[in-house]
Structure 1
Amino acid sequence: MDEFIQRYVQAGQTSVANYLLDHFREVGMTTDQLLVFLQLRRYMDQGTKLPDADEMAAHLGWDKQKVYQLLHEMISHKLMTITTVTGADGQKQDAYDFRLLTEKLSQLAAQTTQQAAKAPVSNDRSAVFNQIETEFGRPLSPLEMESITQWLDQDHYRPELIQLALKEAVLSQAYSLKYMDRILLSWERKNLKTAAQVQREKERQEPRHTAKPTTNGQPDGGIPDVPIFKLTDN
């Protein structure tokens, strides 16, 4: 036991912000990318600025190519960059830089503060991501996360409106963000910005779809139902 405690202490610890653990998906980071980030932080805290992908793959139990792919995704989605730094010995070396990720988290914190003053807690951003993943029955891809973030931050769709569009998509068995986007665009063209406005519009449209009055049990001007028999029936 004493030997284990000694090895445990010597291995050191990696410090990770809880805010990142709470909101990594909302800035476009997947769970696999988070695991790579944790490995990177581990090596960087130990002084290795550009950790070896083979070693990280061994710790994660993955193929090296998967690690390379995830690193490329994190760079292309502006979660990190590779910069050149000067070491204590005066030598220049490449290093992973996570300032872009910190900026995204900072922007998210500011947006969340603004939304908290305007919207109820039940309309939290994270609830949108969680509900879509639950209904789709799978994790969201980085591109899908980026699309949802754009709905919230650029298009300024309210979370309740996105959740209502999700409900419409599920009822139509269309598990696609493109389908949801078409619904949201149609509501935007009609200047419907809240779930209550959408509901009122649906109620206003319902009388148009109501069946016409019937005469003698048959729809006005319609053709009566005729039973169909098989010719082979006796």
Structure 2
Amino acid sequence: MDDFMRRYIQDGQTSVANYLLDNFRAVGMTTDQLLVYIQLRREMDRGVLMPDADKLAKKLGWNQQRVYQVLHEMIENKLMTIESVTTSQGQSQDAYDFRLLVEKLSQLSVQEKTVVAEAAKQAETTDRATVFGQIETEFGRPLSPLEMESINHWLDDDHYKPELIQLALKEAVLNQVYNLKYMDRILLNWEKKNLTTAVQVQRDKERQQPRRSAKPTTPGGEVPDVPIFKLTDN
């Protein structure tokens, strides 16, 4: 084994969580702070709990002042702390502690879920308002409290999607029937057929359309004239 491979293996590896690499900016960490963190992690994995700032500066190609500044920022931004620990020899020693950083990373998942939930709630509110507005527009009048309760029941209890209610409204308007009872019968009919989306309803309608029967033709390919008789003629 040549010297390079021997040194390559002996130097070992530093493990950095991909979640941190993906989200370091989200927790308020700068690129410089991330570089310092990686160098600190490298030394700490080797058992050096309080790496020397001068050594870090040489590894990064910085001066000591810049390293101290970044370390101070990391402490100030609650990305790390300096804690007193007891070594295996029973001695007390200062060490960098990154539990605050891990805690901030763990909160990101909670924040993401909250944002997604709020976005979904906002979208639901918007869809609900759209349904109410469209029905009032097509009916040409404000909805009564009882009608509003019926629509809320469709959305909250029957779990009909807004797009399905809007499609039922379209069917009612095409048939010039402007009341919720008619729409309710349409929705119930779709529910019995297990049609829960507008796409499924459209496909079902296409299947239900009767095929046009082919007209009989003469051997020459022309459609023969069929005389029409009125049964009431004498």
TM-score (structure 2 length as normaliser) = 0.50
TM-score normalised by length of structure 1: 0.50
